[in-house]
Amino acid sequence: MYDNREEHKIADSKEVHEETTSTVARNNILTLMDNFIEQIFQIRRTLLGVSICALILSPIAIGLSIFLIRHPSFFSILEIQSDFGIILGFLLAAIISISSIWLITGTRQYRKIGSWNSRYKEFMSEKEQMDRKLASKYGY
C-alpha cells in the first residue's frame, strides 16, 4: 500500500510539472508574440519618418530641378559647356525621375502605415479587453 501512494504522488507530481511546463510555454509564446508586435510598431515609426522625409524632400528636389531647367541661363550653359551641360541635364532628369518615384512611394507608404496604425490600435484594445476578462475570470 505504501508503494501505491508513492506512485500516485509521483504521477500527480508529473501532471503538475507538465501543466506548469505547458503554461510556461504558452506564456513564453504569448510574450514572444507581444515583443514581436512591439518591434514591428517600432519599425513602423521608422518607416513613418522615412515616408515623411520623402514627402517633404522629393517636392523640394523636383521644384529645384525644374527651376534650374526653366532658368534663362540654363540653355546657354548647355551650349557653352557641352560635357558639363550634358551631365547636368542628365543629373537633373535623374533627380526629377527618382524624386517622383520617392514621392509616389512615400505617399503609398504613409497611407499603408496609417491603416496599419488603426489595426494596431484595434488589436491592442482587444488584447486589453481579453486581459481584463481573463484577469476577472481567474481573479488576478
- pLDDT, tens digit (0-9, with 9 covering 90-100), for 24-61: 555 677 788 778 888 887 888 888 888 888 889 999 99
User: Which domain, by its residues, includes 117?
Assistant: 41-138
Sign of the torsion formed by the C-alpha atoms of 101, 46, 120 and 114: negative
Residue 62 lies in a domain: yes
| Ranges 17-21, 79-83, 92-96, 114-118: which has the least confidence | 17-21
Residue 23 lies in a domain: no
- Number of structural domains (the chain) is 1
Residue 92 lies in a domain: yes
Residue 58 lies in a domain: yes
Q: How far apart are the C-alpha atoms of 140 and 131, rounded to whole Å? A: 10
Cα Rg of the chain, angstroms: 31
Cβ neighbours of residue 103 closer than 8 Å, sequence gap 6 or more: 54, 55, 58, 59, 62
Contact (Cβ atoms closer than 8 angstroms) between residue 78 and residue 68:
no
Q: What is the pTM of this model?
A: 0.58
Residue type, 70: R
Q: What is residue 1's predicted lDDT score, i.e. its pLDDT?
A: 47
Residue 29 lies in a domain: no
Q: What is the pLDDT of residues 121-132, one digit of tens each?
A: 887 888 888 878
Q: What is residue 115's predicted lDDT score, i.e. its pLDDT?
A: 77
Residue 17 lies in a domain: no
Residue 4 lies in a domain: no
Count of CB atoms situated within 10 Å of the CB of 37: 13
Residue 88 lies in a domain: yes
